Amino acid sequence: MLPPVFGVLFDGLAYGMLLFVLSVGLTVTLGLMNFVNLAHCAFAMLGGYVTVTLMNRFGWPFLATLPVAFFAAALASVVLERTLYRRLYRASDLDQVLLTIGIAFISVAVAAYFFGTLQQPIQTPGFLRGSADFLGLALGKYRLFLVGVALVVTILLVAGLDYTRFGAQVRASVDNQRMARGLGIDVDRTFAVTFALGSGLAGLGGALAIDIVGLDPNFSFAFLVYVLIIVSVGGLGSIAGSFAAACLIGVSDIAGKYYFPELGAFLIYLVMVVVLMWRPAGLFGKR
Amino acid sequence: MSTSPLATNPQAYLQSASRWRPVEIVFWLATLLPFYLLPDYLSLASQIAITALFALSLDLILGYGGIVSLGHAAFFGIGAYSAAIFSKFVMGEPLVGLAAAAAVTGIAGFASSFIVARFRHFTLIMLTLGLGLLAQEAANRAHWLTGGSDGFQGADIWPVLGLFHFDLYGYTAYGYSLAALFVLFLAARRMISSPFGLALRGIRENWVRMPAIGAPSRAHIQKAYTIAAIMAGIAGALLTQTTQTAALESISFQRSADVVVMLVLGGAGRLYGGLVGAVIFMIARDQFSGIAPQYWYFWIGVLLVSVVTFLPNGILGGLSAIAARWRRK
Amino acid sequence: MTAIALATRRLNKSFGSLTVARDIDIDLPVGARYALIGPNGAGKTTLINLITGMLAPNDGQIFLGNEDITRLEPQDRVRRGLARTFQINTLFAGLNPLEAVTLAVAERRGITNQFWRNVADHKEAIEEAYEILAKLKLGDCCYQVTRELPYGRQRLLEIALALATKPKVLLLDEPAAGVPQEESGDIFEVVASLSDDLTLLFIEHDMHVVFRFASHIIVLVGGAVFTEGSPAEIAADPGVREVYLGTRKHG
């Protein structure tokens, strides 16, 4: 029989896995192009609403909506990248922050207009409801599913980065953009594709998040701070970094709520400030 | 000394660059108009003056020093709560209260300047965000001191100089805030046209070149950041004193984000940008206070996207570009 | 025994397995006119970054005169008389030349901690700044904002900023890089007119310039000193010619 603390740990890890799927796209695009995209979570929200619409309006099964959520978010990012983002690659940090925050604000209003401000419920499929017994702990099946999806995504990402030619181009561009261009790598196109992939993953994360945290127009901002913390603490451009940081934040958040509710998010902010002062590029970031 | 083929000699040129322009005098005279023309709006005018001061303080570090801070409201809030606590436990004299708030915020600003001066770009943005959120959480959790989400109870503000009671119409509030804004504006203007101001602009223009000309950039930034913090703290204290209370809103991320929007709207690095931005933003928000918050932020979003795409130097930048083109004709 | 203005001892720098500086020993006597040449990627700008403190070495020492400056911050080295220009213009785009050079002069004079007096009140600093600009033929455009200046003028402003710090040792990184033929003459005139007390090390690709101005040439290849000697010796060295693969104008 495992003590209840392991149950809390599992919940924290599951939450961390969700945060990882939400964050991984941002860390790669930030590491690649140093482009601060604060609208990242708006893509997640888009994915969430796609799933809600397909399920509640058109009766699609949950699992089938996931790839559509991914592609919808990826497509939206391509459109935005072509029209607005691409002019700002060499702009100042402030301009990038302002433009992308502006887009996030617009997304909140659009979502509120079409879907209202209340949380959107969905019916998770039967086989994902309830919990499985494991050494005396009741592990939520949906959470197990989350962990599974996140691990699959991680494996695919790592394999893609390490074994494909495109992955090599991404790694080269993250490492040294100037030299990558000099070697003939089309860094702008690499970025565009990576950006689409990352936003797509955010969309997937948004769809997956509905059952855990609920979906309303505020989603664009509710998780933005956590995602930014994960990306900066983990290290820009590092998948391993955001994986570790996401687990850390996920566990800290859930465990904090259980054991130290008076502290609130104070501990997480403090951890971020301390880590960034010690390692400005993040735990696994470029030195 | 070589002969100068220039129309103006260098010293005279630099002198004229910092001379008072007629439009500035018009601007400050116009700030007196609400007393006569809009007596119903004096409370709002007082809020605008306070927010303008806050935006001015951010301009010092963002517009002139190039430091993007998403947590500047931490100092506004610390000033607000310091003034409230001071008035409750020590004395309600407003000017002394301002000094007390300035002292506390100065210490906080100086302490955090060590962190801020060491980092750039994304790390710096995240650190300012993090420090701001920490301040917000701290104020929230310490409700035994701050009153938490209920707001501060028990602030007792005496009349200004023993003469001017804070009346319901806001005459004293606006007069007091406007006076503080003007005095601090003069100080900021002085600072910008000083050698230190030139160094700040150098930091904003090219961070890498500064050490190459022997400049101690970190020391400069720390000074500017501390001064900006003190100014923001005084603004926060003014809010407490004119409204007789302090609330979590004063230290919130919302306030930090709004002031960045205002400054960018007006045009950063132009001294008046924050003032103009504050006026427009606050009046618009007052006019549209009926609509739901997410639709208000829709227009803010559209505004931000438009400003970044079409008007990168804000309204004042756009105006000066038009003026330059008109002059060339 | 001529005094040594700048020296490095066994300077080493690597990024992981990539070594960009290998046991570099250099001695610059006072008043020297030394050229630093080598193929692209040889580590010439890296060496300047190491000497000025923009990059920290893994090993080795740097001496300015008799003082060990290896641990000093970049701005402190500048205050002790070590200045450099950048290969890619690193200027204050939004300031005009007068403001920029006045800033450099003000920093040197230590008046930038003053935030109460107007810049315009500091007559001597402004006059000094203007003198430098006039000497570099930038006097007539000194009120024009830097980003609107033609490229050749910007390269001159690079040098003006460095001279404003009253250096004893000046490191020039390809001063005439990218400047059209008609304007590059101005830059070399400036270099030629520099005082004899000033010690000069310049990176250059154009061999005509090198042979015209340098009294001594250091050849850097793969992060290490390949050879050094007088221009005649270097010109005759077959190894050097091989390293350059016969190119004379651009490395």
Report phi then psi at C21, rounded to 5. -145, 130
**C67 beta partners:** C64
How many Cβ atoms from other residues are within 10 Å of residue B14's Cβ?
Answer: 23
| CB atoms C127 and B17 under 8 Å | no
| CB atoms B301 and A104 under 8 Å | yes
CB of C111 within 8 A of CB of C124?
Answer: no
Residue ranges covered by each domain of chain B: 36-252+268-275
User: Distance from CA of residue C56 to its chain's centroid?
Assistant: 18
Burial tier of A123 (Cβ tally within 10 Å: 0-12, 13-18, 19+):
exposed
Please, where are the H alpha helices in chain A? 4-33, 40-52, 62-83, 93-115, 141-163, 165-175, 177-182, 187-213, 219-222, 224-234, 239-259, 266-278
Mean pLDDT score, A70-87: 92
CB of B106 within 8 A of CB of B232?
Answer: no
List of chains touching B (3+ CB pairs within 8 A): A, C
With a CB-CB cutoff of 8 Å, which residues 89-128 of chain C face chain B? 90-95, 98-100, 102-104, 106-108, 111-120, 122-123, 125-127
Q: Say how far apart CA B14 and CA C118 lie, in whole Å.
A: 9
Res. C92: pLDDT tops 90: yes
Burial tier of C31 (Cβ tally within 10 Å: 0-12, 13-18, 19+):
middle
The pLDDT-based confidence of C39 (bands split at 50, 70, 90) is confident
Q: Say how far apart CA C68 and CA B203 lie, in whole Å.
A: 28
Mean pLDDT score, B214-218: 94
CB of C53 within 8 A of CB of C38?
Answer: no
Range of the domain at A119: 4-278
Residue located via tokens 């604000």: A105
CB of B286 within 8 A of CB of B240?
Answer: no
Residue C246 has a pLDDT of 52
Search chain B and give the residue with CA nearest C49: B212
Search chain B and give the residue with CA nearest C76: B214
User: A35 to each of A93, A275, C126, how far by Cα in Å?
Assistant: 8, 22, 40
Residue B2 has a pLDDT of 43
Residue C1 has a pLDDT of 55
Res. C55: pLDDT tops 80: yes
Specify which of A178-187, A270-279, C52-61 reaches the highest per-range mean pLDDT.
Answer: C52-61
**All residues at 6 or more sequence positions from B137 whose CB lies less than 8 Å from its CB, including other chains:** A264, A265, A266, A269
Q: How many CA atoms lie within 13 A of A28 on its CB side?
A: 30
In the three-class reduction of DSSP (H, G, I as helix; E, B as strand; rest coil), residue A18 is classed as helix
Instruction: Give the residue from A23, A246, A233 showing the smallest Cα distance to B123.
Output: A233
Q: Tens digits of per-residue pLDDT, B260-303?
A: 999 999 999 999 999 999 999 999 999 888 887 778 889 899 99
| CB atoms A84 and B305 under 8 Å | yes
Q: Tens digits of per-residue pLDDT, A127-159?
A: 888 888 877 777 888 888 999 999 999 999 888
> Which helix (H) or strand (E) covers residue C22, if one does?
strand C18-29
List of chains touching C (3+ CB pairs within 8 A): B
Mean pLDDT score, B93-110: 96
List of chains touching A (3+ CB pairs within 8 A): B
By Cβ distance, the residue of C73, C91, C112 closest to B206 is C91
Mean pLDDT score, B15-40: 91
DSSP C121: G
Residue A287 has a pLDDT of 56
CB of C176 within 8 A of CB of C92?
Answer: no
Q: What CATH number did the domain enclosing A137 receive?
A: 1.10.3470
Least reliable range by pLDDT among A1-15, B92-106, C176-190, C225-239: C176-190
Search chain B and give the residue with CA nearest C110: B215
Q: What is the 3-state secondary structure (H, E, C) of A130-182?
A: CEEEECCEEEEHHHHHHHHHHHHHHHHHHHHHHHCHHHHHHHHHHHCHHHHHH
Q: Say how far apart CA C108 and CA B199 lie, in whole Å.
A: 12
Q: Report yes or no: A222 at the B interface, CB cutoff 8 Å.
A: no
Mean pLDDT score, C10-34: 91
Res. B144: pLDDT tops 70: yes
Residue B1 has a pLDDT of 40
The ipTM estimated for the assembled molecules is: 0.90
- Which domains does chain C show, CATH number per domain? 1-81+167-251 (3.40.50.300), 93-166 (no CATH)
Percent of chain A at pLDDT exceeding 90 = 36
User: A174 to each of A25, A218, B207, B314, C15, how far by Cα in Å?
Assistant: 13, 32, 23, 33, 16
Mean pLDDT score, B79-102: 94
Tokens of B26: 């018009």
Q: Say how far apart CA C237 and CA C235 lie, in whole Å.
A: 6
Q: Report yes or no: A34 at the B interface, CB cutoff 8 Å.
A: yes
Res. C126: pLDDT tops 60: yes
Specify which of A159-168, A255-264, B282-291, C168-177 reaches the highest per-range mean pLDDT.
Answer: C168-177
**All residues at 6 or more sequence positions from A148 whose CB lies less than 8 Å from its CB, including other chains:** none
By Cβ distance, the residue of B119, B130, B301 closest to A102 is B301
Mean pLDDT score, C36-59: 91
Residue C41 has a pLDDT of 79
A254 in a structural domain: yes
Residue B5 has a pLDDT of 53
Higher confidence at residue A94 or residue C103?
Answer: C103
With a CB-CB cutoff of 8 Å, which residues 164-203 of chain C face chain B? 164-165
Q: Tens digits of per-residue pLDDT, A13-69?
A: 999 999 999 999 898 888 877 888 999 999 999 999 999 999 988 988 889 999 999
Res. C6: pLDDT tops 90: yes
Instruction: Count structural domains, chain A.
Output: 1
Amino acid identity, residue B308? V
Question: pTM value?
Answer: 0.90
Residue located via tokens 């004379």: C248
| CB atoms A269 and B302 under 8 Å | no
Q: What is the largest CA-CA distance in chain B?
A: 70
Q: Say how far apart CA C131 and CA A157 lie, in whole Å.
A: 60
| CB atoms B133 and A269 under 8 Å | yes
- Given the DSSP bridges, would you call strands C216-221 and C33-37 parallel, antiparallel or unpaired? parallel
Higher confidence at residue C99 or residue A187?
Answer: C99
Mean pLDDT score, C232-251: 73
Res. B29: pLDDT tops 90: yes
User: A25 to each of B126, B260, B281, C174, how far by Cα in Å?
Assistant: 18, 26, 34, 41
Handedness of CA A90, A92, A94, A98 (dihedral sign): negative
In the three-class reduction of DSSP (H, G, I as helix; E, B as strand; rest coil), residue C122 is classed as coil
Residue B3 has a pLDDT of 47
Mean pLDDT score, B230-254: 94
